[in-house]
Each structure stands twice: as C-alpha cells, then as structure tokens.
C-alpha cells in the first residue's frame, strides 16, 4: 500500500507542468446526500457511492468508484466545501427553509479521512464560509438568502489521495437536524486530479 503524501503550496505549483504520461487538471470531486424531513440521521458519509449504480446520476456525484479513485489516479486535495441545496429558487424560500439551511451548516462537525486516519477535523462552519444574509417577512414569509462570497475549508498542506486508499468526508451532529422539507447536503473536494494521459 502506498504511503499518504502531503504536498505544500510550492509542491502544488510544480504540478502545473504536465508530465509526458500524465494529465494534471483542476478538478472537483462532489457528492450529495439527502437530509429527509422524516429522518433522524445524525451522520452523513460522503463519496461512498458512484454514478451509474442504483439510480445514482452525475447530478448526485461524479465518483466513478465508491470511496476510491480509479487505478492510476491521484487527487491533491486543496479545499473542502460544504453546502445545502433546496429544490426551489431563492425567491420562493420560506423563513423556515432559510433557518433550516442555516441549522445544517452552523451546527455539527466534519472529518476528512484517507484510509483509517483523519487528515482534517473541523466545525461545519469552517467549510461553509460567508453567511446567510437577506430579508424575511410579509404574510407569505418570503425570505431571501444571499449567496456566499467567502468560502473557507482551504488546507495549508494538501494530502494526496492515492487510488489504493478509500476516503470519505463524515459530517456529524450531536442531535439530528430536523427539517420540514427534504434537502440535499453537498460536499466538494477541490484540488488537482493527476491521471494517465490518453493515447
């Protein structure tokens, strides 16, 4: 089994040079998990399923293999971003929806692991950045949530995920978040994908 490699920002800058047999690309690995209105889940483990299996589409995840990268691939992780999606435009969101989204992001903690070891443990707020601001009121409880302009979750040193190790992001809450409408909790790993060149 390969050892876990840690890269500095200087090391990552050198990845701009594409090797003879490799492609080095800016890349995002993403995954979405449902937070159900009738659910009582206190933990959500991301990157454990792949598109094309059991009705999972590329809108849900771009993982090709559950919890692992394809053979010969490496991912240099530079940032983790946590968010919530709701299937309504911002102008149609109720005050309750905005509060529930805030609850999902402002509470809880996250851990990023490769193999059996954690390489990051933080409160969820460290991965969301920005803030939910706007207005709410009126007889129909119209609410507006401004988009985030600041994203945290950037790592000073970047762990490299090899294809020989499983990885995950685990989001946990002490008390299950209660939501009145189903939502999608999403997680993005931002970094560099190193893969064999075509041809």
pLDDT in tens, 134-164: 555 555 555 555 555 556 788 888 999 999 8
* Three-class DSSP category at 158: strand
What pLDDT is stored for residue 20 in this prediction? Answer: 73
Max mean pLDDT range (49-58, 61-70, 95-104, 142-151): 61-70
Alpha carbon distance 187, 172 (integer Å): 13
Residue 183 confidence (pLDDT) above 70: yes
pLDDT tens digits, 78-128:
999 999 887 666 556 677 777 788 888 889 999 999 999 999 999 998 898
Percent of the chain with pLDDT over 70: 81
User: b or e along 178-199 (b: 16 or more beta carbons within 10 Å of the residue's beta carbon)?
Assistant: ebeeebebbbbbbbbbbbeeee
Model-level pTM? Answer: 0.85
């Amino acid at each position: 089994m390969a050892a876990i490699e840690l890269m500095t920002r200087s090391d990552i800058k050198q990845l701009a040079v594409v090797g003879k047999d490799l492609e080095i690309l800016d890349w995002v690995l993403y995954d979405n998990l449902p937070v159900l209105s009738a659910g009582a889940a206190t933990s959500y483990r991301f990157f454990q399923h792949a598109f094309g299996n059991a009705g999972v589409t590329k809108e849900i995840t771009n993982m090709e293999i559950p919890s692992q990268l394809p053979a010969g691939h490496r991912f240099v992780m530079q940032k983790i971003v946590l968010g919530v999606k709701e299937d309504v435009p911002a102008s149609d969101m109720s005050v309750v929806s905005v509060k529930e989204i805030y609850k999902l992001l402002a509470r809880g903690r996250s851990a990023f692991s490769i193999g059996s070891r954690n390489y990051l443990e933080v409160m969820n707020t460290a991965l969301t950045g920005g803030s939910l601001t706007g207005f709410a009121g009126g007889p129909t409880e119209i609410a507006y949530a401004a988009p985030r302009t600041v994203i945290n979750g950037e790592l000073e040193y970047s762990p490299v995920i090899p294809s020989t190790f499983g990885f995950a992001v685990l989001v946990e809450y002490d008390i299950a978040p209660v939501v009145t409408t189903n939502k999608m909790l999403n997680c993005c790993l931002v970094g560099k994908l190193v893969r064999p060149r075509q041809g």
